[in-house]
Structures are given as structure tokens and as C-alpha cells.
Amino acid sequence: MSEHTQPSAAPSAPVAWWRAFRRMPDTVRVSTYVVAGLVLSLVVAGLFALALARRPLPQTGGEVEVAGLTGRVTVLRDDAGIPQIYADSPTDLAMGQGYVTAQERFFQMDVRRRSASGTLAELVGAGALPGDRVARTLGFRLVAQQELALLSPDTRAFLEAYADGVNAYLAEHDPSELAVEYTLLDLDGADTAPGDWTAVDTLTWLKSYAWDLGGGAADEVERVLVADAVGTPRAQALWPAYSHQTVPPVVSGGAVVDGRFEPGATQGGTRNPQRVGFGPRRVRAVEAAGRALEALPQWAGRGPGVGSNAVVVDAEASGTGAPLLAVDPHLAAQVPGPWMQVGLHCRDVGASCPWDVAGFSLPGVPGVVQGHNAEVAWGMAAAGLDTTDLVVERIRDGRVRTDRRSRPLRTRTEAIDVAGADSELLTVRTTRHGPLLSDIDPSARTAGDASAAARGADLDEEIAVAVQWAGSTPAPTLDALLDLALATDVETARQALSSWAVPAVDVVLADREGTVGVQVAGAVPVRKSGRDTTEPTAGWRSENDWTGRTLPFGALPFTTRPEDGVAVAANQAPVGSDYPFHLGTTWDPGHRASRLRDLVVSEPRDVDGLAEVQRDSLSPLAAVLVPALLAVELDPGYADDGQRLLEDWDLAAPAEGTGAAAAAYLNATWRELLALTFHDELPAPVWPDGGARWVEVVAALLESPRDPWWDDVTTDRVEERDDVLRSAMLEARDELTRRQAREADRWTWGHVHQLFLASPGLLGDGVALDLARRVVEPDPWEVGGGPGAVDATGWDAARGFEVTTTPSMRMVVSLADWDDSRWVALTGVSGHPTSSHYTDQTDLLVGGETLPFLFSPDAVAEAADSELTLRPAP
């Protein structure tokens, strides 16, 4: 065939489609026009939605004029988007941090302050009302307003400059440019224009965060409800006594001598408080207080797994020749995560500009909470000190009984605005002990009246429950946080913590001179009537009152010479049982603390080795439960497939791979075991969550095959231990078959133990809220670990296997070379879902990886991926 007679090339795809379309019947062609139009509309809508979602992404390069700056501020971001900020004065540095934090996380900041202030319903509607009522009742903002005046001039100036930086960013952007959430909430007609950020907003949020992390009020509620259901003797078995002999305390040895903590002998002794007899009306009042506590949004988290690991290793025990420090707090699974990495550096560090610090900040709070400066590193773990009491009050005609007298109630009324609805008036009543939590549920005032009347109770006397919290007393905690950033050694870091009030914390410390240590910090109330405050006390007896004083800072436990050169703070008791003052009773049982210490002292660890320790997933539950499960006789085949997985298991709980099938089976059996053993007698609000305490409870029950707890009171027969174990194993086998596969070796723990990151501020129902959650909440990750493990991914056995608390960050600091340090956060730096830095660090954390934690100017500059200059506005 000649060149001129070759066939033409095949038509392009669009041309071929058009020719086929023209040959279609008219009716088909009309339908196709409709479909094409719909598709085109969806594409255009999708592109428009994407443009709206990307609109809030911050400018990270070039120059921006910022009103209020006195000099140039440079922001270097690495390829993970982590900002390192350089300035010539503390106020410019604080403004820079406020500006950059607002760029990345302002919506998170806004919902945090609203939630803490009781104004979240203004933005998201009636779904936030229950939490707003509680926040108003507890009065976080009222206390914060008083705290502002207590701060040092330097702290207040830094705090005000931070707020100025936030507001400079707000002034340049409308709500749709701040966060996609504002755009979506605007669909419901909410007033999304945020007010200016203030210093009080920061202090209010810190107060709310402190409430979340410390106290013990929820535990007091649980004890009352359990005792009401099964009686006090049986209830006591569900709170095993803490073993000081088997768990190393945070601070070993030492005593208080002449009001100061020193090595040596101790003495002390106190009376027990007057407990309350819990009739139906008092139980219902406590129950109402418990419901109020649950209504607050969970910013730090609650339930099994909330806690922290903090470790410091001296030069002799370290594999680097210098101290190492590591921390990983376990908090609620949220997006954005609770932390934002940042560096704050004066270009010329000196007396006029002393800042040179990097670490993890809380968005909305200036400075860093966990990190290091050029001389000192620090990490914090929740200390679990007893800083909260529930107090049962007797009220008649607006007066509260106390001894043989009565005092008037104090009242205030506040209006709560609600998006899309009428405002609500809230009346808060307060006694000398604190606000009445039980008032939030009005039905509690008459609950139990019938049975109470039958017992001859005085129904004209109202029973209510107040909450007394150390954090309700104004204190300059922010001074401690900012002074810590400027510490020059361990001793000055300890002294910086003297103004710390709430939450109570164990702070591990290390300096470049080689000193390491740990300091317990916090306002611990001195109670008149003794140690045992695990149940609500009688408010009408003055011997139960607090004295109005707190333990002096010098009396709080500390050490700068830890045993074996290693200090571990993992929510265990901070000091031994000889300590003369009451610090608390509800410590973590200590599995994590013991495991951490064993791993760290077993061999010298470098940075990578200490990071590996943080990922240890050995299950303390497995050590207790596996021997008992292997002793149960099951039919061969389908019934014992899961049991056989346990025979050669190393007791680690990875998400997948070797051991993951056994971990899945063990945890599924654990959940069924708790339900079969306890659900028949305990009310649903206090069903076992499966946390570390319940491991201790069941470990004791396994030694008593005929303990009454094993019996199911809803059946005609009397069940014993092996009956329950067998039923739990068979139920677990069926559950995993339904969820995953019939073949047991195909199960994985990660398949059911998934990390869902929720947005806690988007509360309630409605199209806009549902759409916002769909946009900002990512798909889940499969994870390993579990409560009680060092890799603590908590889950609530009463609800499901999904992760409720998780390592919220990991940090390992090398004092041999700051630039050799590592860090990773639960989510990325950005709070914008279309940013590449939204959940990029989640992938790393779940995979056990970390990022370089760079500090020196040369290392930071070399790693810089972008440079933004903030310069003074003319």
C-alpha cells in the first residue's frame, strides 16, 4: 500500500465518544446530557469545595507586615512544616509564636477557649450546651481572670504579646481564611467571626486542661455507684490496695524533715474523715455530679490509658556518655493533636533576650511545655495527686448546713448563647466548698424521694454535691511554665516549678553538667481530717474541711540522685508509703513504670534505644490472663483455635505480624470476661473499662475460683471461674470470626484496634456539623499496644476495641548533642485538613518512626524548607 493510500489514524477518544453520542436515539441523548451535566456540576462543586478547603492554608514564604512588631521575625519551617522562630526581643518572639500558631491551629484554639469558657454552643449549637453548663459551673474563666493579676510582669508581657500576634493574624483574615470549619459551620447560620484572643483566653484554657488531667472526682463517683450496687465490702475489692513494695516510686527514699523533703526517717499520722452514709438521695446526687463531669468535652482524655511515660537517664547509665530524657504523654485521640512543635530563639541570646528553647507547645499557650533549652531538658507526666474532693451538702431554704449552723448559698446567673436557638439562663449555686455540680441535672433534686420518705428522711432538706478543687484557687502556673524555659540547670528548673499549681505533675529533668532528677510539682491541699478521700465527704462537718493551705513546695518529693541513675515517672506513686502527707491513693498499678525501669537499666541506651523502649508493646494483661486461659479445657478444632495461639506467644501486642493474632484473641477474651463477670451486678455507667486497675482486680479473682463475682446472678445456676473463662474464650472466638476470619492465624490486633482521630469541638447534630466531621476527621489507622503497656493505646472494654487514648507525642532528647534528638507528634503541625502536614506525623508515630529534633542554628537553617519574614508594619 502506497504512502498516499494508507488508512487514516484512529479517531481520538473524545472524537469517538462524540460520534457515538450523535448516533444515539434522542431520548438516550437527553438522558446523557442530564448525566453529563450532573457530573460536570459535581466536578465544579468538588473543585470549588477544594478551593474553599485550601483557602486557609498559611503563607510560609516571603514577607508579611505585622502590626505591633518592633523588629524582624524569621520563621523557618522544615519539610514537616515545623516552625523555628527567630527574633531580637522576647515580645517579638512571643508575637511570632502567636502569629504562626494562629496560622496553623486557630480553630483548635478557638474551640478550646470556647469550651473552657462555656461559650462553645455559640458556635456549634445545642450539642455543646451540656459541656458549656459544666464549664460555667466550674468557673474556669472566673478563676483565670483572677490569675492574670498574679503573673510576674515578664510573664504577663510575654502572654500579652502572644495574644497580639494571634490578633494580628486574625485582623488580616476573614473566617473562611482561618479554617474550613468556619466555612462549613456558616451553613447553619452560626456567627463564625471569632473575637480577639486575650491573655485570659490562654489562662482559661490552661485551667480547663488542668481539670481534665488531675483530680479524682470521677473515681469518687464510681466508688459510690459501685458500693450502692453491691455493698461496700465487695466494692472495695474492685480498688486493690496500691503495692509500694512491688512498684518503684517516682522518688525512691527520702522523707520530710522540718518541712523540707530530705533523706532520713519520717513520722506522721492523721485522722480519717467522716464518710457519708449513702442513702438513695445522696447516691442520686453523686450520680448527677458524675453525669455533669462526663458532659465536658474530653480535651486531655478520660478513662483507661490517660497518663504519661517520662524517663531520664544519667551519663553513666546512658549509652551516649551524657544524660538522655524521654517523654510520651497518653492523651485523647484527637485531630488536630494536642501538641504543636515549635522552636523559639533569640538571635543573640543574652540578658535582654534570653530565649533559646524548642519543644512541644499547647496551641493557645505561649512557650513550650515539654522540651529543652540550651542547658536543660524537661518532660512532664501526670502525677495523679489528690487535688479534688466531692462534698455532699445539706441545704434548706437556700442555706447550707455546717456543724450546728447554716450559711447562705452564693448564686450567680449567666446567659449561654446558642447558635440557632434561644439563649439559656444558668444559675450556679456555690457553697464554701465549691459549686454544686449536681445542680446541672435538676432531676437529681427529687431523685430517691419516695424511698427516702419511706425511711423517714426529711424531704424539705435538699441533698446536693459540691466540687472542691485546688485549681479553683488562683495561682501563677504560667510563671512556672515560662520560667522553666529560661532555667540554666536542674536546680533553677526545680525552683521554676515552685509556682506550679495544677495539674500536678512529675517533671523529669537533666542538664548539660550531667545532673538528672525528678521533681513533683503542684498545689496539694492540706486536709484537716486525713488521708482517705476516696469517697465524697460530709460537708456539714467542719473537720472534713481543707485548711486553706497547700503543701509547701519544699516538702514535695524530688531527687537529683536517682537509683541506678534512672528516674521513671509513669503515673505510679510519687514516693514511698512513709511519706507523712496525703498525696493520693489512686495511682497507676505500676506495670508501665516497672517495665520501663527494667528495659532502661538492663543495658545502656542511646537515642534510638530509648525510642525503641517507648514502643514496647508487652501486655501486662497477657502475663496475668494467659496462664489461666491455657489451663481451660476446650473442644479441639474450632473452639480451641484461639487458645493455641497463646501457647508460644511472646506476650507483645503488635498491630500485625507475629503475635498479632494472639493479641487479638487475648483482648477479645478480656472484653468478654469483664462483661460476663461484672455486667450483671454493676450499673452500666461503671462497667469495667479494662484499664490497668481491672487487670489487678481480675488477677486477684483468678486466685479464687468460687468468688461471688464469677457467678451470673441472672441465671439459675452458680457459675465459677472456669465457667466464665470458657464462655469468654468461646465468645471471643465467635466475635473474631464474625469480624475477621474463621482461620485464627489470619486475625490481627490492628484490624479491630483502630485509631480514629476525632474533632472534639464539633459536638451535636446537623448537616453542617456532620459535613465538618467528615471533612476534618481522617480514616483510621491500625495500631498495636494497649492499656498498661509502655506503648499505651487505651481502649474502653465497655464500648469497643477502638483506641480512646494514645501516645500524643514522643520525644527523646540527647544532652550529648541536641541535634541528635528525635521527636514526633500524634498529628502534623497543621490544623487544616488539606495541608500535607495535617496527619503526616500520624503515619510516622503509628509506624514507630520519629523526626530529627534539630536545635542548633546551623542545623535548623540547613533543614529549612521555607522561610517567612514577619516585619513591622510602617
- The 3-class SS string of 370-388 reads EEEECCEEEEEEECCCECE
Residue 162, amino acid: Y
Q: What is the pLDDT of residue 34?
A: 56
Binding residue ranges: 220, 386, 389
In tens, the pLDDT along 539-550 reads: 999 888 999 999
Q: Please answer whether residues 507 and 495 qualify as being in contact, where contact means their C-beta atoms are separated by less than 8 angstroms.
A: no
In tens, the pLDDT along 307-353 reads: 899 999 999 999 999 999 999 999 999 999 999 999 999 999 999 99
Q: What is the pLDDT of residue 839?
A: 98
Under the banding of pLDDT at 50, 70 and 90, the label for residue 38 is low
Binding residue ranges for Ca(2+): 220, 386, 389
Mean pLDDT of the chain: 90
- Higher model confidence: residue 39 or residue 566? 566
Options 308, 472, 617, 821, the catalytic residue: 308
Q: What angle do CA 349, 353, 354 make, to 5 degrees?
A: 60
CA dihedral over 826, 827, 828, 829, signed as positive or negative: negative
In tens, the pLDDT along 500-538 reads: 999 999 999 999 999 999 999 999 999 886 656 788 999
* Cα–Cα distance, 496 to 517 (Å, whole number): 14
Q: What is the pLDDT of residue 12?
A: 45
Q: Please answer whether residues 515 and 490 qualify as being in contact, where contact means their C-beta atoms are separated by less than 8 angstroms.
A: yes
Q: What global pTM score does this model have? A: 0.91
* Cα–Cα distance, 792 to 690 (Å, whole number): 13
Among 109, 23, 92, CA closest to 831: 109
pLDDT at residue 276 greater than cutoff 70 = no
Q: What is the pLDDT of residue 24?
A: 55
Q: What is the pLDDT of residue 246?
A: 77
Q: What is the pLDDT of residue 278?
A: 66
* Cα–Cα distance, 332 to 760 (Å, whole number): 9
Establish whether 308 is a catalytic residue: yes
Strand partners of residue 463: 394
Q: What's the gap between Cα 707 and its chain centre? A: 36
Among 240, 300, 245, CA closest to 116: 300
